[in-house]
Amino acid sequence: MEAECHSKFEELEEVEERLVSLVQKCPNLRILQQIHGHIITHSFLPSSAISFILSKVLTFAALSPNGSLNYAKRVLTQIPNPSIFSYNSLIRGFLESHTASNEPLFIFKKLVKRNYPKTNSFTLAFVLKSCSILAAFDEGQQVHKHVVQSGFGSSPFVQTSLLNLYAKCEEIGLAEKVFDEIPERNVVAWSAMISGYSRLGMVNESFSLFREMQKTGVLPDKVTMVSVISACAMSGALDLGRWVHSYINKQSIENDLELSTALVNMYAKCGYIEKAIEVFEAMPFKDAKAWSSMIVGLAVNGLAEYALVTFSRMNKAKERMALLLLGLVLNVSVEPNHVTLVGVLMACAHSGLVSEGKRYWADMIESGIEPSLEHYGCMVDLLSRSNLIDEAYSFVESMPLAPCPAILRTLLVGCKKNKILDKGEILGQHLIELEPWNAENYILLSSLYASVSDWEKMRYVRKQMKDKGIKAMPGCSSIEVDGFVHEFVMGDWSHPEAEEIKEFLRDISQRVYSAGHEPWIAPILHNVSDAEKEIALCEHSERLAIAFGLLKTKAPAVIRIVKNLRVCRDCHEVTKIISRIYNREIIVRDRVRDIHALTPPRPPSNSGRRIETWETSSHRSSSISEVASSENFSTMSREFSALVLAGSFKREDAVINGWESEEVQKATSWMKKIERKLEEKRVKALEKMQNDIAIAHRKAEEKKASAEAKRGTKVAKVVEISNLMRAVGRAPAKRSFF
């Protein structure tokens, strides 16, 4: 009797092993469903064996590329006593689906409510990761509480997941607390903390932590470098960004698609568009995100025409391209996404290309892309900048979505600019109702009243602000000097070198006044004297940053400023004058991402003629003569200069602008060099293309042979599975169990 029981046990064990083998060798979901049905119909198997085998079925359905999460959920309901492994597999499956879902949170909630099976460190780590993807801070804190109660707070997986959650939710204080409590920090923990600082634009903290990471001997990976580069992009720290780029090359860190795109974004946001183009063109392949970053970068740098040309190039590459990487053929989609079209519409808005903007809008609707509030905002901006206020107003009224405050403010700015009181007053009052504590709404409405000389209503709006205790956000500008980002706030003299800056600022003000500049004090609505208004203008944060930059750097270093608010008209004009007086190039990036690139003019030779500065913030395309007359031949890379000037230089321009013969010869010689270089590049590119085509053909043949071999292997597997299932005792079910 004992021998018979032992024999039966061995037989059942053998059946269980065979069924597990079937699941592991399963080539697709259809066969998995047949195996599943076969398992259920074998009632002689004990429940523990069925639970174990079904857990393997669930794992395949949840984690395999050929699986189905919905099918995995149904399998879970069929398992007699599902273990925590089954729940973890399902939660992990939702995380790896690349689609944000609340399902992991619902599953975790059920587990906690039933209190069976007990969660483990992997469950908590997966659920915390889900919270970070969803930016679900409140839910994450509840999970954190469960972590403490369950005693898994010391698990490295749980600690890094908690850190990542708080960093992504921008709760930097809590993130620092978790980070400090991790005894042995791996590259994931360091990267998460650096990313948290980066999200908030805390570039000094990001870089300080990065240096500390290097001292501990932990080698950074591409995720770490993306975080550091993003911090440089947000703060406009170009020198730090260049150093990071050099570090990536020296350390041979894999410069993949995401890292290259981050570099393009960083250089574009720092106003170094030539380098952004260089990195972009050097990318072996480009996805929609890379194209979008380049288009947006060109748009915010005032190069609208090139942004639209780049979009046209992207459209030509719409179809999926077979790209070779490490011997594998990848399909990368380059279909324009919503970010791409935001960049295109932004380019049209900044250049006043109304008809083109409307055409792109119509094309977007026809292509099936549903416009977001960002797209609507760009269209309102386009119409408002072109003084088509009535059309912009009608456009907002016809929106299927409720316009957000940002769109209404854009329209209100247009009304203020064109002194349209009736519509502007309605918009201003509505904005105050929507956001009663936003100072910007009150300031815009009071500015509207001031523009039409309705001083009584202006004072009433200001009184509302004062009575409610609402204060305007102070202007803050940052500048990077010697690897450290310095911040300046309007009227704040707390900087360690404040006295030196103040003294230098007085000298700047005197020289600007001597140059004939009259301060534009009209927008200052405070009831103070004109002299006090002029002093207030001199203390704007960007002027403090420019003064510090002039003190601490020498030509030809470019002064790069990032400001949190829109640069006022007076500061814009003063910056142009400072650029000319001190013979320095100054780039200012303000809140709306416009780049004010001011290149000092070249001193005239034996001539008193005035040369305009090159100003990309004017939202118009500079003519060839303007570009040539500024000193961009020396400051711009030849590759980018070729993009701007190739095919456009004419001798007639020299005659019209009164250039000296020597200058004409230099410009002509320079253009010939560009043409030679472009021809050399064209020949090399043609040779490379022919070589790539030959390699592609060879790889395609190899892939075809490999596919044939795999097909034969797959057929053999199916035959083997059928034989195994017959050996178990029953033929496969013809239809799916579900």
Phi-psi region of 588 (alpha: psi -120 to 50; beta: other; left: phi over 0): beta
pLDDT in the model for residue 677: 64
Residue 628 has pLDDT above 80, yes or no: no
Strands of 593-640 (E only): list them: 595-599, 614-615
Q: CA-CA distance, 110 to 120, in Å (whole number)?
A: 15
**Edge-to-edge, what's the strand order for the sheet holding 614-615?**
484-489, 476-481, 559-563, 586-589, 595-599, 614-615
Q: CA-CA distance, 43 to 22, in Å (whole number)?
A: 18
Distance of CA 363 to the CA centre of its chain: 24
pLDDT in the model for residue 608: 33
Cβ-contact 461, 431 below 8 angstroms: no
Query: What average pLDDT does range 104-131 have in this prediction?
Result: 92
pLDDT in the model for residue 726: 63
- This prediction has a pTM of 0.72
Cβ-contact 625, 657 below 8 angstroms: yes
Q: How far is CA 649 from CA 7, 122, 615, 658, in A?
A: 93, 65, 19, 15
Q: What is the mean pLDDT of the chain?
A: 80
Specify the 3-state DSSP secondary structure of 325.
strand
Residue 429 has pLDDT above 80, yes or no: yes
**Residue 107 or residue 32, greater confidence:** 107
Comparing CA positions, the residue from 185, 183, 184, 106 lying closest to residue 139 is 106
Provide the pLDDT confidence category of residue 187 given band limits of 50, 70 and 90: very high
Cβ-contact 203, 234 below 8 angstroms: yes
Provide the pLDDT confidence category of residue 697 given band limits of 50, 70 and 90: low
**Residue 417 or residue 328, greater confidence:** 417
Write the secondary structure of 153-219 as one string of H (helix), E (strand) and C (coil).
CCCHHHHHHHHHHHHHCCCHHHHHHHHHCCCCCCHHHHHHHHHHHHHCCCHHHHHHHHHHHHHCCCC
Q: Per residue in 219-269, pLDDT tens?
A: 999 999 999 999 899 888 888 899 999 999 998 888 888 999 999 999 999
Q: How far is CA 149 from CA 125, 155, 165, 175, in A?
A: 15, 13, 19, 20
Q: CA-CA distance, 354 to 377, in Å (whole number)?
A: 14
Query: What average pLDDT does range 597-617 have in this prediction?
Result: 39
pLDDT in the model for residue 660: 42
Provide the pLDDT confidence category of residue 537 given band limits of 50, 70 and 90: confident
User: Which of the 8 DSSP states describes residue 731?
Assistant: P
The residues pairing with 321 across neighbouring beta strands, listed in sequence order, are: 332
- Dihedral sign, CA of 99, 101, 103, 104? positive
Q: Per residue in 339-361, pLDDT tens?
A: 899 999 999 998 889 999 999 99
Task: For domain 185-284, say whether CATH 3.30.450 is its number.
Answer: no
Q: Per residue in 157-168, pLDDT tens?
A: 999 999 999 999
Q: Per residue in 256-306, pLDDT tens?
A: 889 999 999 999 998 889 899 999 999 888 888 999 999 999 988 888 888
What number of CA atoms fall less than 13 Å from residue 592's CA on the CB side?
A: 20
Residue 570 has pLDDT above 50, yes or no: yes
Strands of 333-403 (E only): list them: none
Q: How far is CA 284 from CA 322, 355, 699, in A?
A: 12, 34, 17
Which tokens hold the place of 424?
A: 């502007």
pLDDT in the model for residue 284: 83
Domain locations along the chain = 185-284, 479-521+529-590
Query: What average pLDDT does range 488-497 have in this prediction?
Result: 86
**Residue 140 or residue 734, greater confidence:** 140
Q: CA-CA distance, 31 to 510, in Å (whole number)?
A: 83
Residue 610 has pLDDT above 90, yes or no: no
**Residue 522 or residue 57, greater confidence:** 57
Q: CA-CA distance, 633 to 509, in Å (whole number)?
A: 30
Provide the pLDDT confidence category of residue 630 given band limits of 50, 70 and 90: very low
Q: Per residue in 43-100, pLDDT tens?
A: 567 778 888 888 889 998 999 888 899 999 999 998 888 999 999 999 999 998 878 8
Residue 668 has pLDDT above 70, yes or no: no
Q: CA-CA distance, 273 to 267, in Å (whole number)?
A: 6
Query: What average pLDDT does range 357-376 have in this prediction?
Result: 90
Query: What average pLDDT does range 182-201 have in this prediction?
Result: 91
Comparing CA positions, the residue from 136, 83, 78 lying closest to residue 106 is 136
Phi-psi region of 581 (alpha: psi -120 to 50; beta: other; left: phi over 0): alpha
Residue 646 has pLDDT above 60, yes or no: no
pLDDT in the model for residue 94: 93
With a pLDDT cut of 70, the percent of the chain lying above it is 75
Q: CA-CA distance, 644 to 646, in Å (whole number)?
A: 6
